[in-house]
Amino acid sequence: MARPSLRTKSIGTKVTEGEYAKLERAAQEGGKTVSEWCREVMLASVNGAASKDQPYQTGEGQAVMAEVVALRTILLNVLFKQANGESITAEQMQKLIDRADADKLKKATDRLRQITPTGS
């Protein structure tokens, strides 16, 4: 039977009282110590995967959220026009799409930041 690798290297960093409080809160929410939580988040980050505490913080997660946000923006605008008895031209629709695409990543990032424990 293969022996598990031992952790023999250490990483240290300095944080402010406020930053430490945020890290501690996030770790507690995940039922971990600060060092366990930090290790998981750091390794998930370098491996390009989401951690259990931040499931949407992958490139793929952000891309999907960006598309959902853009679709929501377009849909709400179209439905609002229809509810007011207006029709939408192809040119207006293209402008809606362009506007939704222009800021979808920022809006998605903002939304993801709101739902993650360390996102303040």
What pLDDT was estimated at residue 45? 74
104 and 47 share one domain: no
Domain final residue pick, 5, 39, 55 = 55
Domain final residue pick, 38, 55, 72 = 55
The answer to whether residue 88 sits within a structural domain is yes
What pLDDT was estimated at residue 77? 93
pTM (2 d.p.): 0.48
Note down the domain range covering 27.
16-55
What pLDDT was estimated at residue 94? 94
How many structural domains is the chain composed of? 2
What pLDDT was estimated at residue 65? 83
Is 101:70 a contact under the CB 8 Å cutoff? yes
Write out the chain's pLDDT in tens, 120 residues: 677 788 888 888 899 999 999 999 988 988 999 999 899 888 877 776 555 555 555 667 778 888 999 999 999 999 999 999 999 999 999 999 999 999 888 888 787 777 755 444
67 and 50 share one domain: no
Question: What sign for the dihedral angle of Cα 115, 49, 16, 23?
Answer: positive
What pLDDT was estimated at residue 119? 42
Question: Quick one: DSSP state of residue 5?
Answer: P
What pLDDT was estimated at residue 98? 93
Domain final residue pick, 55, 76, 102 = 55
The answer to whether residue 11 sits within a structural domain is no
Helix axis angle for 17-29 and 34-46, nearest 10°, is 90
Please, which residues have CB within 8 angstroms of residue 117's CB and are 6 or more apart in sequence?
Answer: 25, 26, 29, 30, 53, 54
